[in-house]
Amino acid sequence: MKFIGLTGGIGSGKTTVRKFFEKLGAITVDTDEIAHKKLKELKEVIIREFGKEGIVNKQGEIDRQKLGKIVFSRPEARRKLENILHPVIKGEVLRLKERYKNTDNIMVVEVPLLFEVGWDELFDEIIVVKRNKEKRLRYLLNKGFSVEEAEKRMNSQWPLEIKEKLAHRVIDNNGDLENVLSQVRKIWEDWKKEVGNNGRRGNGKTN
């Protein structure tokens, strides 16, 4: 199996790229989706750490938007949440890696904070998706964030320039979707040559 880490800055288009790889035949994993599921499982731990006030909705579940405002406003709160979630998410990713390790699959794992949390040693190859700050900011504003909230989230991550230098490959998402897909196809063809004629024996997305 070829085990790929996919990362980039918030709003850079990581999910778009991951879905392109999925359509070509990759098994894909979205660690944000895993995190959302684990929030429910770890609800009591999170409430114990952050308190119920301000983070629990009327249904008694963790309100991700409210929790997000807290952790992106206070670095110590963000680190506390990361220390709760990241080991559990990493365990799930490693379980999937073990499951497919003796196959000729290509697995692409989207990890927003891949370098920040020191996961770069897990992967055979790392791809960074780059996009200029103006387009990333526009994306976040369209998602309903204020300029202040958007900038806090962007500034909470390593600069894209540093991630690009650490990556094996960089996908430029400053053009149109066809240009991005062309880059993805080229990388996919390279991988297929390495792992075999089919490049996979899986069923697409998993988590």
Question: According to the model, what pLDDT value does residue 173 have?
Answer: 98
How confident is the model over 181-197, as a mean pLDDT? 90
How confident is the model over 34-53, as a mean pLDDT? 90
> Which of the following CATH numbers is that of domain 2-195: 3.40.50.300, 3.40.50.1820, 1.10.3720.10, 1.10.1240.10?
3.40.50.300
Q: What is the 3-state secondary structure (H, E, C) of 28-75?
A: EEEHHHHHHHHHHHCHHHHHHHHCCCCCECCCCCECHHHHHHHHCCCH
Q: Tell me, what DSSP letter sits at residue 76?
A: H
Rounded Cα distance between 13 and 173, Å, is: 7
Q: How far is CA 7 from CA 41, 110, 135, 166, 196, in A?
A: 25, 6, 17, 11, 25
Write down the pTM of the prediction.
0.89
| pLDDT interval class at 207 (50, 70, 90) | low
SS3 label, residue 108:
strand
Averaged pLDDT of the chain: 91
Nearest to 129 by CA among 15, 11, 5, 14: 14
Chain-centre distance of CA 160, in angstroms?
A: 14
Query: Of 15-24, 55-64, 78-87, 98-107, which gets the smallest average pLDDT?
Result: 55-64
| pLDDT interval class at 199 (50, 70, 90) | very low
Bridge-based pairing of strands 169-172 and 27-30 is unpaired
15, 138 contact by CB (below 8 A): no
Helix segments in the chain, DSSP class H: 14-24, 31-41, 43-50, 64-71, 75-100, 133-142, 147-155, 160-166, 177-195
| pLDDT interval class at 73 (50, 70, 90) | confident
Question: According to the model, what pLDDT value does residue 141 have?
Answer: 96
Asked whether the predicted pLDDT for residue 85 surpasses 90, the reply is: yes
Residue 49: CB partners within 8 Å, gap ≥ 6? 80, 81, 84
Tens digit of each residue's pLDDT (9 = 90 or more) over 124-178: 999 999 999 999 999 999 999 999 999 999 999 999 999 999 999 999 999 999 9
Question: According to the model, what pLDDT value does residue 206 have?
Answer: 62
Query: Of 5-19, 38-52, 133-147, which gets the smallest average pLDDT?
Result: 38-52
Rounded Cα distance between 126 and 128, Å, is: 7
How confident is the model over 45-69, as a mean pLDDT? 88
Tens digit of each residue's pLDDT (9 = 90 or more) over 164-188: 999 999 999 999 999 999 999 999 9
Asked whether the predicted pLDDT for residue 194 surpasses 90, the reply is: no
129: left (phi over 0), alpha (psi -120 to 50) or beta: beta
